Amino acid sequence: MKFTLLCTDGKSNARAGLVETDHGMIETPIFMPVGTAGSVKAVHLTELKDDIKAQIILGNTYHLYLRPGIKVIEAAGGLHKFNGFDRPMLTDSGGFQVFSLSGIRKLNEEGVEFRSHIDGSKHLFTPEKVMDIERSIGADIIMALDECTPGNADYEYARKSLDMTNRWLDRCIKRFNETEPKYGYRQSLFPIVQGCTYKDLRQRSAEFVASKNADGNAIGGLAVGEPTEIMYEMIETVNAILPQDKPRYLMGVGTPANILEAIERGVDMFDCVMPTRNGRNAMLFTKDGIMNMKNKKWEFDFSPIEADGESYVDRIYSKAYLRHLFHSHELLAMQIASIHNLAFYLWLVKEARKHIMAGDFTTWKAKTLEKISYRL
């Protein structure tokens, strides 16, 4: 993988760059729709590629490992062949999912033992096994196994967790270097910076990660319960250390406002379930603010969902019709809302990139942030 830093904002740490993979180019800053189990919920492949214009999507090692299983994915020729998405993909290592299974998992130096949320069967993820699984899935960018500590973890727990994550990273790198891609194209391994909300731990983690000279680096363990201001402080702390010439991926974040704030602090890549999850629950993000499509105020509003929206659904469906679909529990409501929100997120990062390159990102961001955060 190759990363080219094209320009910086000048008044902030915002950057515009280009990531080159064997499955295509990615213009940064970029948002990656989440396709946890190999599909972006409620969105067809043609819509994902042609309407939303997704340049890269994310899959999850934990979920794909459990279902459909690695044998099926290998027999298909990798996830790209299995789901038909021929552009770049990234896989999370499953560390966050295991963190979420706190009641049915055990952590130790070897790895993490957990029970499947599907059938209760017992499994073990070691750094080596996760690398093997991600080789089999075949994403262009794969993540190292880490422990995602809770946002309210005490210092001693966070320190011990970070030490173990660092040791796991060394084992991931060793296994990655001992193995080869399975499908004829290159893969890149990203380490993950941890350290909870403790500045010295974040600094130590960022220095350790930077020393590995990976193709890119990720920032994990944020947006897990800590105050927003602390999240931004941790991003600034980490990005002051991570190399300038490598892409920076902030995992699992977040709201449109979070994304703009993180871009201003030097982040290049994002993913989050929010646009699709909130969309399925009738929340739409727009250029003029946030809409709850179940509200009675839209009952007789026959204007387009968003007249200058980025997706075809914005112009052919009215607010009143979408409200009706949600109240009728029609599946089409979730599809329309998901497509709209993803198109909005991709528009947002594309506009940010445009204004970074024009040199007026800071001014544009201040105006945009006020508008998109307003509750309509």
92 is catalytic: yes
Please state whether beta strands 217-219 and 192-193 pair in parallel, antiparallel, or not at all (unpaired). parallel
Which residues are registered as beta bridge partners of 143? 190
- Residue of 9, 268, 271, 314 marked active site: 271
308 is catalytic: no
Q: Is the Cβ–Cβ distance between 362 and 261 less than 8 Å?
A: no
User: To 10 degrees, what angle do helices 199-210 and 228-239 make?
Assistant: 40
Could you tell me the CA-to-CA distances from 219 to 226, 238, 301, 372 in Å, in that order? 15, 8, 42, 25
| Bond prior to 88 in cis (omega within 30° of 0) | no
- Residue of 92, 140, 268, 314 marked active site: 92
User: To 10 degrees, what angle do helices 331-358 and 256-264 make?
Assistant: 20
Cα–Cα distance, 65 to 62 (Å, whole number):
5
| Bond prior to 59 in cis (omega within 30° of 0) | no
The count of C-alpha atoms lying within 13 angstroms of the C-alpha of 6, restricted to the half-sphere facing its C-beta, is 17
Please identify every residue annotated as catalytic: 92, 271
